[in-house]
Structure formats: structure tokens, C-alpha cells
Chain A
Amino acid sequence: MTITPLGIVSLSVLLLFLAVLLVPLLKSSQRLLISTSFTLASAASLLGIIGGVWAVGGAITNTMILPVGLPDLPFHLRADPLAGFFITVICLLSLFVSMYSLGYIKGYLGRRPVTSLVVFYNIFLAGMLMVVLADDALFFLIAWEVMAAASYFLVMFEDERIENRRAAFLYIIVAHVGAIAILLSFGIMAGLATGFENFTGYTFDAMRQAEFPLKWATAAFLLAFLGFAAKAGVVPLHVWLPEAHPVAPSNVSALMSGVMLKTAIYGIVRVSFDLLGTFPWWWGAIVLILGLISAVMGVLYALMQHDLKRLLAYHSVENIGIILIGIGLSMIFTSFNMPMLAALGLIAGLYHTMNHAMFKGLLFMGAGAVLHATKERNMEEMGGLIHRMPWTAALFLIGCVSISALPPFNGFVSEWLTFQAFLLSPAMPSPLLKLLVPLGAALLALTGALAAACFVKAFGVTFLGHWRGHHMPRVHEADWFMRSGMILAALTCFLLGVLPTLFIDWMDIIPQQLIGTKIGVSSGTYGWLWLTPVAQERASYSGPIVFVGILLVVVAAYLILHVKPGAIHRVPIWDCGFGKLNQRMQYSATSFSMPIRRIFGFLFNIREQVRLTPRGVYKAFPKRLNYYLRVRDRFWGWLYNPVIEFSFWVSRMVGRLQQGRIQAYLIYSFITIIVLLVFSR
């Protein structure tokens, strides 16, 4: 048997299942269990990276048919460049996270058994890989459910707390509403591909071959998009995300936020570009508009949070929005038959997919290290951790700079590419779009600037200043396993930012296959140095020169000033003669975001109360001041509460049938029989 990328990735899936099978043998020694399982998971991820990189780099497409599953419905597997790209993203992050887990999960030793965490972690990874490998609707949905169920149990891991159970329940409901929509979408496509007489239409190949009438294609697309949007956390289906991600163990949050959401992006790209193939422009407009709304709302909600992991979870909503902006633009350009620009949009979206996986994984790992060290998730109780945890602080800072889209790190590159795609929109033939699309660029700029504000807050309040809590716990730095996972993720963020041309050259095959053209980013001599997506005169960006340029000036300034340096005197903080400065007087996360809360307050459901307790008769000198603030998602009131109330109403109505008297139930059976006799003669 020859070695193919598909074979390597399948081997990686088998290795993950092997790790699961080993669990009963190792269960008694938890320490050994952790080392073995996560080492196997790392090895499997490494194999997956090789397979994925090879499939994209060599433009290889392999297929395989497994004779398992239902009779006459075997499983189809396929690894093509698009799948290979997502496999690379998944495996790259899961490699880092598995290394990190070797240290992180040891924190649970002695507190609770970790067997279920280890089992479902590996099944979860395998599930994600199978989703990407699947080449028929049946296998895809099975893998999709495996992934959803495994992640449900991971969210439920610390199930003694009510908020965890509530979050997991919400998650599984939204996941299943999404799965039903995807199932219906595949049903439409399969049915139209071969008719409803035989079953061969369930393969993706049959769907690719088929020509769909527009109204059915639209129905299939909208259903699939609804399903995938529920998984990706697109506004307004995002509410499960800020509940479920913070309560899961941090290594799992990193994977869920970093890569599980990306399987939904994969689904959207696969269904729209590959399976359906042709579409009208307004599909892309829907994706674009929802992407913009998610981006802006996600970052604004993130700014209001003071729970570190919840803040990061809302940023996932934002970044999924940015990815969808790229993909939506690409769909619009494709429908107007402008393949070059469509390829640019798609590359921007996919590059951001990769980038978001890396920096969000890094940030969640950093938040996990902080949680591990301080047992605290609330930023209002933190501060000054940069002195106790220098490694974690520096690595978390790299994550913050990357996600805030600042050069020379990776978040900037994808945002820059998206801006370029936006600026090319005047080439579109529709005047309405010409006018509206540049406004989208402004919203994207707003998102980027607000994200920077949010991460100044997140990093500043967590790591800088003084410890804000009442008593300082014994904080320790993350161990070397955790550090190595974070260092590798940070390094990848840096490389993706400084050498984007190499990565884009590598993945250029994907638009080539889906849209029919490459973007060819590098041109001229020293091509790898310059990112020139359209033409040299149109726009160019050179990550290496920006980085080296800043570095040179910084080093030169430092050296010149240190030829004869003035002394540095360490002194206490200047307290303006007040003398009673304490750590509670620092700016907190809530006060940092106050101006933004006031400016964009109409988007939130805010309740703010200030209560003064007067000191006897002297009203001007209050004894105590209580400040109460509650910021809630408006979508709960608009969308979810009505649904919840409606379902309660329906159950109450149905509940009336329950009389508790045997006569009533006999009458029900009698009526049922009569009805059946009348209608199904």
C-alpha cells in the first residue's frame, strides 16, 4: 500500500482511538494515564500535520471507501487541499494544546479523577479530524455528532457546579438545532442529486456532480448556513459560546475556541464552494452582513466582560465574524465572476482561520496558566502577575498583539488582506453593493480598534499594576510543558505574521481548485519579502522589513542611550501627597471599559445602581458606597426568552392532557383508535 496524505491522517485518527482504548488499562495510575494519552495525542497531531501539509502542498486528492456503517451505505473518506488545510489547522493547535495539557491536567491530580477528560479529549480530536475527512453526508453527520457529544462531556467535566451543567445543556441544545438544519440541508442535496428512489446521492461526489435548481439550492444553503452558524457562534446564535467556553477546562477551551468553531467554517466553505458550486450574490451578502454583525457585537460584548475566559470567548464570536467577512466577500466576487478577487477574499478568510486558531489557542492556554496559578477567573481580583509569571505574561502579550491586528504579528496580515478585498469592491457591477461594501470596511476597522482596546484592558488588568484581590495567593509560574505549548503557539503567530508569503503560496492551491485561480502573492525579485496580493502598485506589505526596521531602531536607540546611561533610581509610586494609596484604587476592568460602555450603551441591556449609605446626619460624607452593574446580552430578551417561554407554554398545554385518571386515558386511546380507523382505512 502506498503512503498517501489520507492514509497518514487516518492513521492519526486510529492513534487517537488507540489512546482511548488504552485508558481502561491505565486508569489506576492517573499520572501515567495523563502522560501516555497526551503523548499519543501529540504524536497523532504530528502525523496529522504531516498529512495535512502534504495534501495542500502537493495538491493531492485521495479518496477511500470504508466498508463499515449501514449495509449498502459505506463511509467515504477524502483528503483534498481544502480538507488538508483544516487538518493542518486542527493538528497544529492540538499538538500545542496536547503538550500544554501534559502540565495543565496534572493540576487536577488529587482533586478529581481525570479519566473522562482524557477519554473525551481524544475522541473530540478524532471527531474533528473525521468531520474534515468525511466525503458523504452520513459519515459527516456521525463525525459531527461525535465531536459535539465529546465536547459536551468536556464542558460538563466539572459538573458539580450548576453553571457548568447549565452551560453544557445550552450548548448541546444549540448544537442539535444546528445538526438538524445540516441534516435537512444534506437531505435536500442528496434527494435532488439522484432522486429519492436510491441512496447513492448521499456521497459528496454525487452532490458535486448534480445541478440544483436555484430555489432548492437556496434552501439547502440557508439550512446548512444556519446549522454551521449555530456551531460557529455567529450572532445571534452565539449565546452558548460565552457560557460553554469559560467553564470547560482551559486546554479544552483552547481547542473548542481555536479549532472546533473552524469545522463550521469548513462546512460553510465546503457546502457553498464545493458542493453547490454556483450561487447568486445575495448568499454572499448574507454571510458578509452576519459576519460584520458578529465581529462588531462580539468585540463590544467582550469589552464588557471581566471574566478572562468569557472575554476570550466573546472574541471568538468577533473573529468568526472576521473570517466570514472574507468568505462572504469571496462568495460575492465569485457570483459576479471575478475569480481573482474571490480568491483574495477566500485566502483572507482562510488565513484568518489559521491565525485565529493560533492566537486564540495561545490566549486560552495563557488564561489557563493564570487560572491554574491563581484559581481565579475574575480579572477584577488580579493584577501584577507579570512579576510572578514572566513567561506566561510575555506569551500572553504576544497573543494580545496578534489578536489586536498589530504588525508584525499574524492577525494583522489577514486583516490587511480583508481590507484589500474590501477596497477592490468598486469593481462590482451592482451600485448598491458598491456603496455598502466600503461601510463594511469601516466596521472592520472599528472592530480592530475595539479589539486593541479590549486587549489593553485584558492584559493591563490581569498582568500589570498591583494585585487587586484581598489576599495574594501563592502564585507560581506555569511549568515547562505548559510553557512549551504556549511558546510554540506564539512562535507560529510570529512566523505567520512575518513570512505570510510562504504560507499563502502553500495554500494558494485551495482557491485554485474551488474558484479556478490563484492569487500569486509574491512577485519580482526577493518575492518572499513582499506581500503583493493584486499588483505591486496597488498595495504591498512586508512583514520582515517592518519587524527588522522596528528592531533596528529600538536596538540602535537603546545602544546609543546606554553609552553613558543616567542612573535608574527605584522609588515608591508618586501618590500626589495623598499617602494612603492602595491597590483597590487602581483602574479596574469595569472602569476601563466605562467610556465605551457609555458610548455604545444602547446595544446592551445595562442595569446600573449606585447606593450611598449616609454616615448619620452628614449626608455629604457617605459611610459606604455600593455600585451594582449588570450588563446582559440583548439577544436573550429578543430571541431566546420568547422561545423558552413558548416551549414552556406548549408543555403546559400538553400537560393538561395528563389528568391522572384512568378513565381519561381510556378515552384518549379510544379516540386514537377511531381516528386511525377513519384516516388509514
Chain B
Amino acid sequence: MKLYRFVIEFLQLAILLGVAPAFTGWVRMLKCWSQGRTSAGIFQPYRDILKLFSKDIFLADNASWIFRFTPYLVFGTAVLAGAIIPMLSLELPIASTADVIVLVALFAIARFFTALAGMDIGTAFGGMGSSREMTIASLAEPAMLMAIFTVSLASKSTSLSQMVHVIYSGQIALRPSLAFAFFAFILIALAETGRIPVDNPATHLELTMIHEAMILEYSGRHLALIEWASMMKLFLFVMLGVAAFAPWGIAESGDIIAISLAFVFMLLKLVIVGIVLVMIETGLAKMRIFRLTEFLGSAFLLATLGMLSFFILE
């Protein structure tokens, strides 16, 4: 039985590594369609990653070990986060390693080292990206924790599996506090994963790039790892949102039928989230960086309203 739970864990990791690029491909494909372009297909990200893995690395003269270590670390934290967020089943053996606060901190480690790598080469672009990324993160992180704390106040736990349990047992049905927290979470997820209107993953224009500016100097397998990790991060934020706000479908037990059903539910949710994400991204323009204070400020306000309504109404 113990061994079986580890099998589920590995299955989940395999899904994370395998499905994350497809999800990014799906979003890109929808975007192409919505803009009237022909798309490269849902599997293009796989081809991109494979191509990068087989390429040589061009490394700037003064790159230090931090620059070379960061891609592995970013990849490692993404995989570890994937082992903790319940995607298929709640029966994860190492889920209690980390609660939501630790998950947020895991993403923070990856960001910390990416920002350092951006400064390592000593070009203006890298520093610019690092500075902007850390500024945005320092505004997004409190809002993110406030949104998640609202859910954890309702479920009296910061552990994700426990949150799902509580939602399943019907203790929290539709609550206004969760609705506020959910909207706040959407805004923050857009900021944290670097989507429009905060950052544009497709841009390489000096004035607008943030995440891309930090990783501009990467090439070869290093770039492949970072790209893969950022696809996983997008995937994981979807899974985090699903687990905290709409967990229906995730298997409570470990039997095969429940898990395959959970997998189908997961794909269905991913398809829907992809459509919503593309609608947001096509509907909005990228914001000026100093307008982001208002964007993230309203996310924080929504999360705070959620918390207030928890105390007042519930």
C-alpha cells in the first residue's frame, strides 16, 4: 500500500513533466487562432525543448557558477512543487512536506536565483529584468498569501490536501470570501506566471520584457530547463488554483478508476483554463510597469475583502 502511494506520486510527476508543455502549446495555439494566425500545433513546445537540449551552450566570459546552477535549481523547485500540489489524488506520501506557505517560498527560491542569474553577466538587460521581477514579486507575494490565507481560514489549515478535504466534506460550499479570494488569485497568478497584462512571455522588446530579460543570456540545455520549468510553473499555478478553489474530480482514495477519472477531469479543467487565459490575454494590453501597483493593489484589496467577508458574514 505504501509503495502504491509512491507510484501515484511518480505518476503525478510524470504528468507534470509531460503535460505542462502541452498546456503551454494549447494556450499558444488558441492565441494564434484568436489572432487569426496559423498555429504550430499543440506539440510545438516539445519540439522547442528537444531542440534546445541538443544545442551547444554559449556562455558569457564572466558567467559564474550561479549562472550555471540556476537552471537546475529552478527546474528542481518546480518538480518538488509538483510533487506536493494534489493533482490526481490526495494520497500523496510527501504532500505534508510542505503547506501553501512553503509552496509560495519554493517559487520564491526559483525567482531569487533567476534574478541573481540575471545580474551575473553584468548587462543592463539582466539587471533591469531582475529589478522589475523582484519589485513585482514583492507586491504580488503578500496578495497571494492573503488570498490563500482566506481559503485556509475557512478550512482551518494551510495544507493543500486538507483544504481539498474540507471542501469535499461540504463544510465550505459557495462562500463570498472564497469568491473574492478566487478573483484575487487569478490576478496574482497572471502576475506570477508572467502573462499579459503584467509581462508578455512572447516579447523580446527591451522596454517591456521582464522575465525574458533575466534569461536573455541563456542558451542550450540551460535555456531548455528554464523554459520547461516556466511551463511547469504555469501548469502548477493552474493546479494550485484548482486545488484551492475547484478541486472537484481529484481522487480522495487511490483506486485506479478514481485516478483515471481525476486525470480526465484535470485535462478538462486545463482546456477550460486555457480558453479563459487566452480570452484575458487577447482582451487586455500589457500595462506600464508603474500601473502594476494598481493592478496588484486591487488584487490585494480583493483578498482583504475576502478575509473581511469571512469574518463578517461567516
Contact = CB atoms under 8 A, between A and B. Distances in A.
Interface stretch (B39-47, B50-58, B251-259, B264-272): B50-58
Interface in B83-113: 83, 94, 96-99, 101-102, 105-106, 108-109, 111-112
Contacts of B293: 599
A407 B97 contact: no
Interface string B116-155: 1011111110111011101101111111111001001100
Given A441-B149, A573-B121, A550 B220 contact: no
Interface string A536-554: 1111111001100111111
B72 A558 contact: yes
Interface stretch (B233-241, B242-250, B276-284, B304-312): B304-312
Interface string A431-467: 1001100110111011011101101110111001110
Nearest to B206: A576
B53 A542 contact: no
Contacts of A542: 94, 96-98
A376 to B, nearest CB: 17
Interface in A535-579: 536-542, 545-546, 549-554, 557-558, 561, 565-575
Nearest to B132: A595
A251 B126 CA distance: 34
B64 interface: yes
Contact of B152 (A423, A536, A586): A423
Contacts of A420: 158
Interface string B145-187: 1100100110011110010000000000000000000000000
Contact of A387 (B62, B73, B141): B62
For A441, A442, A530, the residue with the greatest tally of chain B CB atoms inside 10 Å of its CB is: A442
B64 A456 contact: no
A460 B300 contact: no
B61 A573 contact: yes
Interface string A636-677: 000000000000000000000000000000000000000000
A240 interface: no
A636 to B, nearest CB: 25
A431 B312 CA distance: 9
Contacts of A574: 60, 123, 217
B141 A586 contact: no
A583 B122 CA distance: 8
A576 to B, nearest CB: 9
B66 interface: yes
A330 to B, nearest CB: 19
Interface in A332-354: none
A174 B22 CA distance: 62
Interface stretch (B30-38, B74-82, B194-202): B74-82
Interface in A593-648: 593-596, 598-599
A169 interface: no
A426 interface: yes
B225 interface: yes
Contact of B123 (A384, A407, A586): A586
A407 B135 contact: no
Interface stretch (A50-58, A134-142, A398-406): A398-406
A17 interface: no
A448 B141 contact: yes
B58 A569 contact: yes
A502 to B, nearest CB: 17
A53 B217 CA distance: 49
A404 B54 contact: no
A592 B130 contact: yes
SS class, residues of chain B in contact with chain A: helix
Contact of B60 (A439, A552, A554, A572): A572
A423 B149 contact: yes
Contact of A452 (B101, B134, B146, B225): B134
Q: Is the interface of A mostly helix, strand, loop or mixed?
A: helix
A59 B82 CA distance: 43
A550 B124 CA distance: 31
- Most chain B CB within 10 A, of A383, A401, A448, A593, is at A448
Interface residues of B, number: 81
Contacts of B158: 419-420, 423, 538-539
Contacts of A596: 135, 138
Most chain A Cβ neighbours within 10 Å, of B62, B65, B79:
B62
A587 interface: yes
A530 B93 CA distance: 13
A550 B138 CA distance: 24
A157 interface: no
Nearest to B145: A445
B275 interface: no
Interface residues of A, number: 84
B167 to A, nearest CB: 14
Contact of A538 (B83, B159, B311): B159
A598 to B, nearest CB: 6
A439 to B, nearest CB: 7
A599 B122 CA distance: 25
Contacts of B157: 537-539
B72 to A, nearest CB: 4
A412 interface: yes
A541 B97 contact: yes
A592 B59 contact: no
Which residue, B59, B158, B290, B304, has most C-beta atoms of chain A within 10 A?
Answer: B158
Given A442-B146, A443-B142, A566 B64 contact: no
A443 B146 CA distance: 10
Nearest to A552: B76
A237 B108 CA distance: 32
B109 A466 contact: no
Contacts of B130: 456, 460, 587, 592
B120 A441 contact: no
A570 B61 contact: yes
A266 interface: no
B102 A407 contact: yes
A441 B300 CA distance: 12
Contact of A546 (B59, B98, B112, B145): B98
B137 A453 contact: yes
A453 B108 CA distance: 10
B96 A554 contact: no
A452 B97 contact: no
B96 A460 contact: no
A554 B138 contact: no
28 contacts: A384-B62, A386-B64, A397-B66, A404-B108, A406-B109, A420-B158, A438-B149, A456-B115, A460-B115, A460-B118, A466-B122, A538-B158, A539-B99, A545-B94, A549-B94, A565-B221, A566-B220, A567-B56, A570-B60, A571-B59, A572-B61, A574-B123, A586-B122, A586-B123, A586-B127, A587-B119, A587-B124, A596-B135
Q: 4 nearest interchain CB pairs?
A: A587-B127, A465-B122, A460-B119, A453-B134
Given A426-B311, A438-B146, A546-B102, 7 more contacts: A406-B108, A406-B109, A464-B66, A464-B116, A557-B225, A568-B220, A593-B131
Interface of A: 383-384, 386-387, 393, 397, 401, 404-407, 412, 416, 419-420, 423, 426, 431, 434-435, 438-439, 441-443, 445-446, 448-450, 452-453, 455-457, 459-461, 464-466, 530, 536-542, 545-546, 549-554, 557-558, 561, 565-575, 581, 583, 585-587, 591-596, 598-599
Interface of B: 53-62, 64-66, 72-73, 75-77, 79-80, 83, 94, 96-99, 101-102, 105-106, 108-109, 111-112, 115-116, 118-124, 126-128, 130-132, 134-135, 137-146, 149, 152-153, 156-159, 162, 217, 220-221, 225, 289-290, 293, 300, 304, 307-308, 311
